[in-house]
Amino acid sequence: DAKTTQPPSMDCAEGRAANLPCNHSTISGNEYVYWYRQIHSQGPQYIIHGLKNNETNEMASLIITEDRKSSTLILPHATLRDTAVYYCIAPFGNEKLTFGTGTRLTIIP
Amino acid sequence: GAVVSQHPSWVICKSGTSVKIECRSLDFQATTMFWYRQFPKQSLMLMATSNEGSKATYEQGVEKDKFLINHASLTLSTLTVTSAHPEDSSFYICSARDPQQETQYFGPGTRLLVL
């Protein structure tokens, strides 16, 4: 897997956009960037993934820089239920996922 | 998103007994499934990769004779913890890869407590 670097923790006010950064400077040309989150005591939940272009789904948006060395996950209107640990992963061969320590996002009322 | 189930969601057993955990992909066929383990306040650690109809590939340090994996169909993989000991108490999570979506979906996890 390409090494990814995320801040250990972030706070965001409820109702505001949460922007979670991820650096993946060693990513190769065919490696996707995946985002998952894990709410306490549950299995990880898939959020979104992308290769080159920006992506958006019902949960979030993913902005990938042109050089693909970093990306940002955007939760447009954070709610208390978005409090979780968020993982950015760039798996080799797009198969095996290696989980780092992620970013612990706390949504503040 | 796609749905992956696990059964049981939690289990308590005596030391020395074996425990089987099932992982099912409910709305897609998964040629590859993965088993993870998570200890308190730690991240997920991949234990093994399971391919339908073939032997599982174990990560370094994971005992294949202790953690038996069977992937008998495209929608079912099982993990059996043999002769469980208290140090095997953990949160076991499976995932299944949907080849059409090129995405892994995770089950809700199984909490194992060995007394």
Judged by CB atoms closer than 8 Å, whether chains meet at B106 and A44 is answered as: yes
Q: How many CB atoms lie within 10 A of CB A60?
A: 19
Span B102-112, average pLDDT: 95
Q: DSSP assignment, residue B16? A: T
Minimum mean pLDDT range among A49-53, A81-85, B84-88: A49-53
A10 in Cβ contact with B68 (< 8 Å): no
Over pLDDT 90: what percentage of chain B? 85
**B15 vs chain A: nearest CA distance in angstroms?**
24
**B110 vs chain A: nearest CA distance in angstroms?**
9
Minimum mean pLDDT range among A11-20, A51-60, A91-100, B98-107: A91-100
> How many Å is the Cα radius of gyration of chain B?
13
- Chain A interface with B: residues with Cβ < 8 Å: 32, 34, 36, 38, 41-46, 49, 87, 94-102
Provide the 3-class DSSP secondary structure of residue B58. Answer: strand
Residue B80: alpha-carbon gap to chain centroid: 8
Q: Which of A41, A42, A95 sits opposite B97 (nearest CB)?
A: A95
Provide the 3-class DSSP secondary structure of residue B88. Answer: helix
- Chain B interface with A: residues with Cβ < 8 Å: 1, 4, 6, 32, 34, 36, 43-46, 49, 91, 93, 95, 97, 102-109, 111
Span A45-68, average pLDDT: 95
B23 in Cβ contact with B76 (< 8 Å): yes
* Residue A42 half-sphere exposure toward CB, CA atoms < 13 A: 15
Span B24-43, average pLDDT: 93
Nearest CA in chain A to B99: A95
Span A6-18, average pLDDT: 97
pLDDT score of A2 more than 90: no
pLDDT tens digits, one per residue of B51-63: 888 889 999 999 9
Q: How many CB pairs under 8 A join A and B?
A: 51
